[in-house]
Amino acid sequence: MDQCHLVSEDICGYAWGKADERIQVPIKNIKERRTDYGAINYVTDRLIVKPYLSGNSQNTIQFIKAIKAIHPNQKIMVIWDGAAYHNSDDFRKYLHQVNGDKSEQEWPIYCIKLAPYAPEQNPIEAVWL
């Protein structure tokens, strides 16, 4: 699972110019952006993507709830990077609410952090590219 932050005009990534010169394309409104949360189901290879206004604790919780709604009776293992909102107080409270006092093997939602600065470990990064 990860997030991709799309800024205005990001989808227009091609330009003609001299090979030895960097071409910069101005963005009209840098506040125009959207954050897509995405996850890959390793069992079915299904891609789940949902747009949000930003990457934060509340939207992270909402995305996990959306995954849980798609797979209501299955355990969810989330493998992701170390974004601050993946380990926020709000998110930890949510996990405690969902997992309760169950043993680790019984948790409905289990989270694993990837190594820092290692996007190559996260398959969703290939989708963002």
pLDDT band for position 115 (50/70/90)? confident
- CATH match for 2-9+23-128 among 3.40.50.720, 2.40.50.100, 3.30.420.10, 3.30.160.160: 3.30.420.10
Alpha carbon distances (Å) from 118 to 12, 80, 87, 121, 123: 27, 10, 17, 6, 11
Q: What's the whole-number mean pLDDT along residues 94-121?
A: 91
Specify the higher pLDDT residue, 70 or 7: 70
Counted residue by residue, the chain has a size of 129
Structure confidence by residue, pLDDT tens digits, 60-100: 999 999 999 999 999 999 988 888 888 899 999 999 999 99
Q: Where are the domains of the chain?
A: 2-9+23-128
Angle at 93 between CA 37 and CA 98, to 5 degrees: 80
* Token couple for 47: 């891609």
